[in-house]
Amino acid sequence: MRALTSLDSMFLAAEDGRTTANVSSLAILDRCDADGKPLTRKDIQELFAERLHLLPPLRWCLADVPLGVGHPWWVDRGGDVDLDFHVRETAVVSPGDRGALETLVARLSAHPMDRSRPLWEVYLIHGLQDGRVALLTKLHHAAVDGLSGGEVLDILFDPTAEGRASVPMPSYRREKEPGQLALLARAIAGVPARQVQTVKAAGRALTHLDQVATLRSIPAVGAAGRVFRRISSPGTGRRVVLDKSLPKAPKLAFNGKITPHRRVALTSVALDDVKAIKNHFDATINDVVVALTAGALRRWLTDQDQLPDLPLVAAVPVSVRAQAELGTYGNRVGTMLAVLPTDEPDPVGRLRRCRTELRAAKERHQAVPPSLMRDANDLIPPILFDRAVRAMTGVAASDALSPAANLVISNVPGPRAPLYCAGRQIHEHYPVSTISDSLGLNVTVFSYVDRLEIGLVGDRDLVADLPGLADAFDKELQVFMHALHESESGPS
């Protein structure tokens, strides 16, 4: 058995019928292998069956502690995983174009998963217009974060069409799930250790409460964080600067309470173009990705007559997983807040400001404990945890308060060589992430071979014209390329 941390449990507690904490990816691949054999649901089931022993999160099932006196536990079901349930098959509606695929993915990715089973699902999707098929993989955020979710996909997908050498399957059996009394006794026995952990967490977290994205929008919390910081570190200039440099986000339509319904839009841009911009303007790929996003948002919001005077603020997930923690799954993440210069009309000026703002955000992030998100959650007793998490996110989405951030932006590096699934080449690979109250728009970027694949997720009621935002990325890239060519040619 494996205990969930308070950070893992947060993603369970956040689910309320409107919010689902599913982390998904969409691979678009050849329908047939080199021999002309079409991909079937049975092929996918056989792939998972032969690699299930390498994928612990796909075997874990939740065991709740009675009366909520402790966080849940993961129980390993061994080989007793019903692949008929987890591996499914469906098709897009005719004519099977990109819009039909996006609509289906929006519905499937946001649907809550059955908590009585391991928290994952896979859908083989037929009927695509170009004759290919798609594979939608859903994992729950309680079991994996972005980095560990990528580790799962690394095991499922192969570097060649021939696959990889099989790893001998160990003889493992399903763990015996403890009864309710045993779980209760275990939770009670763990209370002293948890109290010690809470005291240690309090020392780290109280001085930085205003750095936690879900809390920062609450004025009392922000004030408390600043007071504790000054008390704990009187006279230290760095932390006073930290107080003054925190970005303030404007209120936008997608910073309210979300519904259960989603929109998904998928797009991509050429990685070589992004690298050319990076090299010419002395930036990083992440700088360019954020500048493209800022420009696309500026263009999109201007078209809707909703561009605010203040620049937007992005919540940027950051892995704090140590090298020794690779392969342990669960969540090791933090969040940094970065200003998006959507108020800057010049694309080159926007890129330079993005570079500066991201460096400042990184400095702020490095000034707080890497365990901050978990520490903040450890302050809440498990018996109150679910209600407290929902109350905090609900307050953060209140119309009376400014949001801590306007949207989530993630940039995940991926492979430069094509991957294969069951002998079929994967041509496109899109991330499909999650949204929550006050953060009703998510932009996640995944580099795959020679493209940056961009997955946009928005609330169906709060985000209008998500395809328009997707189209704006290519337009912004062309603006950057024009600026690059003008800069190279110099004055005429």
211 vs 228: CA distance, rounded Å: 13
CB of 408 within 8 A of CB of 374? no
Phi, then psi, of 119 in degrees rounded to 5: -90, 75
CB of 322 within 8 A of CB of 360? no
274 vs 260: CA distance, rounded Å: 35
435 vs 442: CA distance, rounded Å: 6
Do strands 133-140 and 312-319 pair parallel, antiparallel, or not at all (unpaired)? unpaired
CB of 211 within 8 A of CB of 364? yes
For 151, residues 6+ apart whose C-beta sits below 8 A from its C-beta are: 144, 326, 327, 329
467 vs 300: CA distance, rounded Å: 10
Catalytic residue among 86, 140, 141, 208: 141
Our answer to whether residue 280 is catalytic in this structure is no
Phi, then psi, of 315 in degrees rounded to 5: -90, 120
Do strands 451-459 and 262-270 pair parallel, antiparallel, or not at all (unpaired)? antiparallel
The DSSP-derived string for 150-195 is HHHHHHHSBSSTT--PPPPPP---PPPPPPHHHHHHHHHHTHHHHH
Helix (H) or strand (E) holding 27: strand 22-29
Strand partners of residue 28: 134, 428
Name residue 63's amino acid. Answer: A
Helix (H) or strand (E) holding 347: helix 347-366
212 vs 337: CA distance, rounded Å: 9
202 vs 437: CA distance, rounded Å: 26
The DSSP-derived string for 204-265 is HHGGGGGGSHHHHTSHHHHHHHHHHHHHHSTT-HHHHHHHHT---PPP-TTSS---S-EEEE
427 vs 28: CA distance, rounded Å: 6
Give the SS3 label for residue 385.
helix
291 vs 276: CA distance, rounded Å: 14
In degrees, to the nearest 5, what angle opens at C-alpha 93 toward C-alphas 91 and 97?
A: 100
Q: Please give the positions annotated as active site.
A: 141
